[in-house]
Structure 1
Amino acid sequence: MLPLRRVLIILIIFKTSLSHLEINYMTLPTHKQKLLEIDLELIGNLERFVNKLQEKIDTLQRLADEIRQPLIEAEGREEEYLGNPLNSFPLLRHLYSDWDLLEEFIANQVGQEQIDFLKEKLSELPLPKDLSAATEAIYRIELAYGVKPFDLAKGLIDGVQYDAKLSSLDCYVMATHHFRLGDYAKASQWLTVALSLMNPSDMKINSVFKYQRTDVGLMLARCFLEMGSEREARYVLSKEVNMTTEEIDVKIKQLQLVGDDSYQHQKYVPDHLLPEGFNAICQSSHKPKPTKHLYCRYNTTTTPFLRLAPFRMEELSLNPYMVAYHNVLSDEEIRQLNRMSAPLLKKAFPVSAVDIDYDVRTVDTAWFPNSETPHTKENDRLIKRIVNIVSDLTGLNADVADSFQAVRYGFGGHYSPHHDYFNESIHQTAVNGDRLATVLFYLNTVKHGGATVFPLLNLKVPAEKGKVLFWYNLDGESLDFDENTEHGVCPVVDGIKLVLASWINELADEIRQPLIEAEGRQEEYLGNPLNSFTLLRHLYSDWDLLEEFIANQVGQEQIDFLKEKLSELPLPKDLSAATEAIYRIELAYGVKPSDLAKGLIDGVQYE
């Protein structure tokens, strides 16, 4: 007999019902905690129901003993016993009235209060989509970490032994998922494990959930037939389904000709969302190749501020350029960020001009600050600090980056390999250009899984609290898309993963970059004719066009400010004079256009 707790856990997981609440069991610990609370309530309710039944059973047993007692006394001396009027009368009265009342007592339903309570709670239990999401999560963990069904069933995942196991019914659900994907080999493994976990003592319990050994046997036989193994299919139908030879012949012919309509499946494509190479890096057995010319040091050069408070930096790649900073945010700042973002988090949908299968990313996200973000001094101060940190870490203009995006991954939560640049015409790229760089703040340490993986670089970055990961998505000089920045997130196995992401756009930084280079050495910088020409040309023509572009958008205050500043910008004669100056240098020193364009004048290489 299965313990009551296990019975109710199975009921909660597999019972489907309607609910008006939008609940997320995958990423919200509070919602998962609610399942445990409901579980305890239902167990207590079931135990009260059992007690009511036991009270009725005890009463009926006592009545049966009392009713039987006169018959025991009369056995072997019936005539003498019935000759006594004190025996005849009670027997007649008992037969006349007691059994009618006993029939009414037996027919009366006990525990109606507990039954009504259970019906009421059914609306709070997981929906089909919740079970589907949980099954998909286990499926991703199975594939990403190369876990065999037998090991997963006993709680062994990627070398870590968990204090948890799957039941036979759990394994059957996983087998059904693989079967519907057309992965009959893996489905047969799950079904074999399901059979090994079935105990004869569980038959009555399993029948409550309409789950029998024959169900497993029939699906296993179907898998063998799909794999071309009729001999194994016949053996299973004989041993597990108890069919005769004639019945097996009929069943085999049915399955071969028309299939079993109770199963709808599609052609199996080996995990297209998590490719094999990606999975291999996720696994604990992955050993990165030794790297040369990569160092750990304190960054003191990106901005003047870092000379006073440098960040500990670890170089991860030079092409593309990628670094990790450690211990950037304090614990209190991380807690405040989580408090700000938690109420805003919702299921993620990729930003793209084309339709994308949303299963590529199973997370909750929130863009902030937004209209729902409380504007307190503490929140505003923290957001400003993070903007400054991004600028300090990258040397780029974070003031006009995308809004920050908070991301929460639950169990099995992942992100399939992708690039952060869009490489397509959408609103974001039309306004600010494509994503030049990515900055990721890790807000917690993930116990198992959840690493950021760059498959083309053979690189895995574990999720560790306080770490910040920074890389360029576009080539710094040509602004070509860097395909080597393809990355994804391994499925989270234990706990949740919290990150804060920011993307810096190319157009905004393209304007600011010369000012960054000139900072602290303006005289030297402007003494270079190429810098002077570029700056003057930019001020003469770019802002005028940008004013026109911005005028079509929002921000009248900024438009007015820009119009006011236009009167201070160079005139046509100034641009003409600067052009003439470069022209004279070109002729006087015999400089080729290609050399002049890259800063080589008369044998001197300018920066």
Structure 2
Amino acid sequence: MLFVGFFLLLLGADFGASQNAQNFDSLTTSIAGLEQLIETEAYLIQNLENYAKELEEKLLVIRSLITNLRAENDKAQKNTGYYVSIPTNVLSLVRRLQKDWTYLDIFMKESVGQEQTKALHEYWSNLPTENDWGEAVNAISRLQDTYELKTEDLIKGIINGKQYDTKLSALDCYAMGFELFGRKEYISAGFWLYSAISMYEENALLRLHDLSREKIMELYAETLLKQSRYQDALTMMNVVLSLPSSKPNSELQRRKNAVELHIKTNDPQPVTHTKNPPTGYQLGCRGAFSNQLSKLYCVYNTTTTAFLKLAPLKMEILSLDPYLVIFHDVMSDEEIATLQRMAQPVLRRATVYSEERKLSEVVAGRTSKFAWFYDGTNEVTARVNKRIEDMTGFELEGSEMLQVMNYGLGGHYATHYDFFNVSMTADIVAMQGDRKATVLFYMTDVEQGGATVFPNIKTAVFPKKGTAVVWYNLNNRFEGDYKTLHAGCPVIVGSKWVTNKWIRERNQMFRLPCYKG
């Protein structure tokens, strides 16, 4: 009972902040949540078709929308999990549901179709929010930065060098560019807006958004101005004003005159934008550490506990300072399926503990969803915990519960330490100490990305279903080991499921040798 009370203290801020966390929850931060959007979109499409039957005068526009939307959704329905594991599919899916249906709502508010409008509104709470759209844009930008993914490749469905059956539309590209422009990320916005202009073809969806090529070109010109590319911006403005379809635009003409005056008066030179070299974290995510990894040796571990004399574990030693090993084949498919089934209904946005605020809070550096399970929840959790004892030789009484996590679109965990690095009088460590060790089970293979990177020791571990990586966060003096800096790289393609166990130090006094020297 003492431990239960302690753990409630540990997670109390987390539970107390749950409402706050839910307010900032995101559908894009777990593949399990994203799969539901496919069914939501399917329902909305069917509702839209019912509405179309009552609107004969708008039938051509509605039918065109249904054809385009259903074609993509039918492809997704064939394998929803795989579909939403591809980031460009998710970007387009979230944009469709977050942006397009808002305009359809306006279009549908006529004297007919009230039943279908009501059905759409009943589903409103299931649709992505503006925050979801922002998370999706963050994820695509994160993938581009981490893995050097080019915008033109993503649009064609080429993701990290591999071709996928996916493509982005001009509207997808415009929405990305518009969002990035609002964030003052003008260089990135320029690539997306230029692509939107190149791909533009008049269709019903663009008409629904009242989005013309000229509007996109005007925003692109503004993006060029923000980059101090005045001559290029002037050229784009002249193109827009000279288009036969262009309506008189006094504001654009005024802007053009101001740019011409600025060029004549100041003779501005093009600004060179230098690119920062990749960080150790980014290099590790890209696989640059694979050739530098010095695998010490592999053994059958028969000594950690007496049970291993009968059933040894396959152990691969990656580092001795800090201690870092991989255990192979330590979680079965049945155990994985059970933990996933348990977690899916209760997954919520992952948080990070703030010592300053004394609570757990949602942060941009950790995008995933998680669920906690007591060690004795059922036979599977008990068995997994017993296996952790065999793997580590540690006492688990007083340690944290099992945490099951699922990553979504570009899901990652930025560089961090697992130890708390706080005074031993702090509430979070006062009773059971700091996190001596981390055990991380990989429950799925990940097609691309998702590695666990240790940049300070140039080591990366890529997910492999059924394996577990174990490392010590504290040195022999029970001080935080800064060589254990690590991160979860963004998932490019695939669904990453993991199970964590953080082992506290206090109950290990009889399990670890005394420190000497």
For residues 243-299 of structure 1, give each alpha carbon's deviation from its aligned partner in whole angstroms, at most 9, with x where no partner exists.
889865621577899xxxxxxxxxxx9999x97332232225x35234446111211
Q: For the structure 1 residues 240 and 280, does the alpha-carbon distance in structure 2 shift closer, same or farther, using more than 3 Å as the test?
A: farther
Is residue 149 of structure 1 aligned with residue 154 of structure 2? no
2:139/2:409 contact within 8 Å kept: yes
Matched residue, 2:374: 369
Q: State the one-letter code of the partner of 1:298.
A: Y
1:226 and 2:226 aligned: yes
Seen in structure 2, the aligned counterparts of structure 1 residues 223 and 295 have a Cα distance that, compared at 3 Å, is same
Distance 1:270 1:480, change over 3 A: farther
Q: 1:482 matched to which residue of 2?
A: 481
Alignment of 1:28-47 (within 5 A): 29=31, 31-47=33-49
Mind listing any 5+ residue stretches in structure 2 that lack a counterpart? Answer: 1-21, 61-109, 262-272
What does 1:270-285 correspond to in 2, within 5 Å? 276-283=279-286
Asked if structure 2 preserves the Cα contact closer than 8 Å seen for 1:421 and 1:435, the reply is yes
Q: 1:197 Cα shift? A: 1.0
Secondary structure in structure 1 of the residue aligned to 2:354: coil
* Cα distance change on mapping 1:122 and 1:428 into 2, 3 Å: closer
Corresponding residue SS for 2:299: strand
Contact 2:451–2:461 (8 Å) recurs in 1: yes
Identity of aligned residues (%): 37
CA deviation map 1:292-332 (0-9, x unaligned): 46111211122221111111111112221100001112222
> What do you get for the CA RMSD once the two structures are aligned?
3.4
**In the alignment, structure 1 residue 388 sits paired with structure 2 residue 386:** yes
Q: CA, structure 1 residues 342+248, in 2 after alignment: closer, same or farther (shift >3 Å)?
A: closer
Q: Which structure has the larger Rg over C-alpha atoms?
A: 1
**Matched residues, number:** 427
**Partner amino acid, structure 2, of 1:153:** I
Instruction: Tell me which amino acid in the other structure corresponds to 1:276.
Output: T
- Structure 2 counterpart of 1:198: 200
Q: Using the alignment, how far apart are the partners of 2:116 and 2:294 within structure 1?
A: 69
**Pair 56,315 (structure 1): closer, same or farther in 2 beyond 3 Å:** closer
When residues 245 and 465 of structure 1 are mapped into structure 2, their CA distance, relative to the original with a 3 A threshold, is closer
For 2:446, the equivalent position in structure 1 comes to: 446
Measured in 2, the distance between the counterparts of 1:496 and 1:293 equals 27
Kept in 2, the 8 Å contact 1:302–1:394? The answer is yes
Report the counterpart of residue 434 of structure 1 in structure 2. Answer: 434
Report the CA distance between 1:47 and its aligned residue.
3.4
Q: How far 1:164 sits from its partner (Å)?
A: 0.9
Structure 2: distance between partners of 1:270 and 1:39:
42
Output one character per residue of 1:100-119: Cα deviation in whole Å (capped at 9) or x when no partner.
xxxxxxxx955554455445
Question: Deviations for 1:125-175, whole angstroms, at most 9, x for unmatched residues?
Answer: 222122122222222222222111111111111112121111111111221
Taking the aligned partners of 1:502 and 1:335, their CA distance within structure 2 comes to: 18
Taking the aligned partners of 1:133 and 1:180, their CA distance within structure 2 comes to 14
Give CA deviations for 1:534-591 in whole Å, capped at 9, x if unaligned: 9xxxxxxxxxxxxxxxxxxxxxxxxxxxxxxxxxxxxxxxxxxxxxxxxxxxxxxxxx
- The 1:109/1:493 distance shift into structure 2, 3 A limit, reads same
Instruction: Trace 1:339-350 onto structure 2 (pairs within 5 A).
Output: 339-350=341-352
Between the aligned partners of 1:150 and 1:275, the Cα distance in structure 2 is 21
TM-score, normalised to structure 1, is 0.64
Structure 1 residues 53 and 335, CA gap change in structure 2 (3 angstroms): closer
Partner of 1:463: 463
Aligned to 2:92: none
Matches within 5 A, 1:315-334: 315-334=317-336
Instruction: Identify the range of structure 1 (41-50 vs 322-331) with the bigger mean alpha-carbon deviation.
Output: 41-50
Preserved CA contact (<8 Å) 1:222 1:255: no
**1:198 CA drift (Å):** 0.3
1:241 to partner: Cα distance: 5.2
Determine if contact 1:447/1:495 at 8 Å carries over to the other structure: yes
Deviation at residue 122 of structure 1 after TM alignment? 4.3
Taking a change above 3 Å as real, the CA distance of residues 208 and 382 of structure 1, as seen in their structure-2 partners, is closer
Alpha carbons 2:349, 2:362 under 8 Å: kept: no
Do 2:314 and 2:327's aligned partners in 1 also have CA atoms closer than 8 Å? Answer: yes
CA contact (8 A) 2:326 2:469 kept: yes
Counterpart residue number, 1:580: none
1:132-147 equivalences in 2 (<5 Å): 132-147=134-149
Alpha-carbon spacing, 1:271–1:309, altered in 2? closer, same or farther (3 Å):
farther
Distance of aligned partners of 1:221 and 1:32 in 2 relative to their CA distance in 1, 3 Å threshold: same
Aligned partner of 1:368: which letter?
Answer: F
- Partner SS state of residue 300, structure 2: strand
Aligned residue for 1:493, secondary structure, equals: strand
Return closer, same or farther for 1:305/1:277 CA change in 2, 3 Å cut-off. Answer: same
Which residue matches 1:214?
214
Moved more, 317-326 or 248-257: 248-257
Q: Out of 291, 303, 317, which is 1:301 matched to?
A: 303
Counterpart in 2 of 1:552?
none
CA distance in 2, matches of 1:134, 1:23: 13
| Compared CA separation, residues 317 and 513, structure 1 to 2 (3 A) | closer
Cα distance in 1 for residues equivalent to 2:396 and 2:291: 33
Whether 1:161 and 2:163 are equivalent positions in the alignment is: yes
1: distance between equivalents of 2:420 and 2:24? 31
- For residues 211 and 111 of structure 1, the distance between their equivalents in structure 2, rounded to whole angstroms, comes to 25
Aligned pair partner of 1:186 in 185, 188, 207: 188
Alignment of 1:252-263 (within 5 A): 252=256
Q: Show the counterpart of 2:402.
A: 404
Instruction: Report 1:21-32 matches (<5 A).
Output: 25-27=27-29, 29=31, 31-32=33-34
* Whole-Å separation in 1 of the counterparts to 2:174 and 2:373: 42
- Higher mean C-alpha displacement, 417-426 vs 25-34: 25-34
Q: Tell me how far apart the structure 2 counterparts of residues 56 and 437 of structure 1 sit (CA, whole Å).
A: 63
Measure the CA separation in 1 of the matches of 2:346 and 2:249: 62
Aligned position for 2:255: 251
Greater relative CO (CA pairs within 8 A, separation 6+): 2
CA distance in 2, matches of 1:353, 1:270: 37
Other structure's SS at 1:288 match: coil
One-letter amino acid of the counterpart of residue 198, structure 2: S
Offset of 1:29 from its aligned partner? 4.8
SS in 1 for 2:441: strand
Q: SS of the residue aligned with 1:194?
A: helix
In 2: Cα distance, 1:277 partner to 1:26 partner: 27
Query: Residue 351 of structure 1 aligns to a residue in which SS?
Result: strand
Q: Is the 8 A contact 1:366 1:405 kept in 2?
A: yes
Alpha-carbon shift at residue 438 of structure 1 (Å): 0.8
SS in 2 for 1:240: helix
* Change in 2 beyond 3 A, CA 1:362/1:30: closer
Runs of 5+ consecutive residues of structure 1 not aligned to the other structure: 1-19, 59-107, 258-268, 515-530, 535-596, 599-607
